[in-house]
Amino acid sequence: MTTEQINHHLTDDLLMAYSAGSLPEAFSLVVATHISLCDECRARLGSFDTVGGAMLETCGDAEMSAGALDATMARIMKGAPVQKPRSSGGVFPTPLQNYIGGDLDAVKWRPVGMGVRQAILPTSDDASVRLLYIPAGCAVPDHGHRGTELTLVLQGAFVDEDGRFARGDVEVANEELEHTPVADIGEDCICLAATDAPLKFRGLVPRLAQPFLKI
Ligand code: ZN
Ligand code: ZN
């Protein structure tokens, strides 16, 4: 796999929180997967890791809080994404393959309506993460957000009110964005999407289905 042409990146807030080990597991998975595809965000993360490390050194052992120690340990434990990633040779980058235990053929899809399928991945329950399969030319129902939604494209592309997102691009959506992602014609779109609060669907039917789909 060659270097991706990535136009949409992670925010500094997310990279700092990831560096400090304070993101929910669901968000960490999206961040780690984006970083494995993106030289730019990996370099920015490296500088946050350095700043975090320097702050710990000046604190001294006696003054280091339990929280800071936990964050440091978390960073050491997950260290791998900062290194130059190896190509996984599949649709899923290495961190995601490791998490799922395989590539695309290991995924158990469930229909969510209008041709869209999802697979919820098990994580700690402070946030949730799922794989979304949007057939070429199809749309995810129009919705807003109560919290933060991270959507990373793994195959194909989608277009919404914020632009066009292709493999490696990540969309950071919050309360201010209401969007209707539509997959490009020509290739089915596969995304990894994490949310920390339920979405707000405008249409009645998606709203009624929401509790069953855990979106
Ligand atoms: Zn990036
Ligand atoms: Zn959304």
What are the pLDDT digits (tens) for 133-144? 999 999 988 889
Question: Which ligand does the CA of 8 lie closest to?
Answer: 1
As a whole-number percent, the residues of the chain with pLDDT over 70 amount to: 82
183 Cβ partners below 8 Å, 6+ apart?
A: 134, 135, 136, 137, 138, 139, 156, 157, 158, 189
How far apart are alpha carbons 180 and 68 in whole angstroms?
40
Q: How far is the CA of 9 from the centre of ligand 1 (A)?
A: 4
**pLDDT at 74 > cutoff 70:** no
Residue 75 has pLDDT above 70, yes or no: no
* 115 residue type, one letter: G
% of the chain exceeding 90 in pLDDT: 61
Alpha carbon of 170 to ligand 1 centroid (Å):
8
Ligand nearest to the CA of 170: 1
The yes-or-no verdict on residue 166 having pLDDT over 90 is yes
Residues 177 and 174: their CA atoms lie apart, in Å, by 6
Average model confidence (pLDDT) across the chain: 85
Written as one letter, the residue type at 208 is L
Q: What is the model's pLDDT at position 202?
A: 78
131: left (phi over 0), alpha (psi -120 to 50) or beta: beta
Higher pLDDT pick, 74 / 123: 123
Closest ligand by atom to 143 CA:
2
Q: Residue 57: is its pLDDT beyond 70?
A: no
Closest ligand to residue 161's CA: 2
Q: Residue 213 — pLDDT band, cuts 50, 70, 90?
A: confident
Task: Check: CB of residue 169 under 8 Å from CB of residue 6.
Answer: yes
Domains belonging to the chain, first-starting first, are 94-213 (2.60.120.10)
pLDDT at 195: 94
Q: Look up residue 2 and give its DSSP letter.
A: P
Instruction: Identify the burial level of 41 via C-beta atoms within 10 angstroms of its C-beta, where 0-12 means exposed, 13-18 middle and 19 or more buried.
Output: buried
Does 191 score more than 60 pLDDT? Answer: yes
Give the Cα separation of 192 and 151 in Å (integer). 6
How many C-beta atoms surround the C-beta of residue 180 within 10 A? 14
pLDDT of residue 150: 96
Beta strands in the chain (DSSP E): 110-113, 116-121, 128-134, 143-145, 149-155, 157-160, 163-166, 170-173, 182-183, 189-195, 199-201
- Residues 134 and 189 sit within 8 Å (Cβ to Cβ): yes
Q: Please, which pLDDT band fits residue 181 given cuts at 50, 70 and 90? A: very high
Calculate how far, in angstroms, residue 203's C-alpha sits from the geometric centre of ligand 1.
33
Indicate the pLDDT class of residue 78, thresholds 50, 70 and 90. Answer: low
Residues within 5 Å of ion ligand 1 by Cβ?
9, 38, 40-41
Kindly state the DSSP code that residue 111 receives in the 8-state scheme: E
| Average pLDDT of span 195-199 | 87
95 C-alpha to center of ligand 2: Å? 23
Going from the Cα of 110 to the center of ligand 1, the distance in angstroms, rounded, reads: 29
Banded pLDDT at 81 (limits 50, 70, 90): very low
pTM over 0.85: no
pLDDT tens digits, one per residue of 20-33 = 999 999 999 999 99
Looking at the DSSP assignment, which residues form a beta bridge with residue 15?
Answer: none
- What dihedral do alpha carbons 35, 39, 40, 41 form, nearest 10°? 10
CA of 110 to the centre of ligand 2 (A): 19
Q: What spacing in Å lies between the alpha carbon of 139 and ligand 1's midpoint?
A: 25
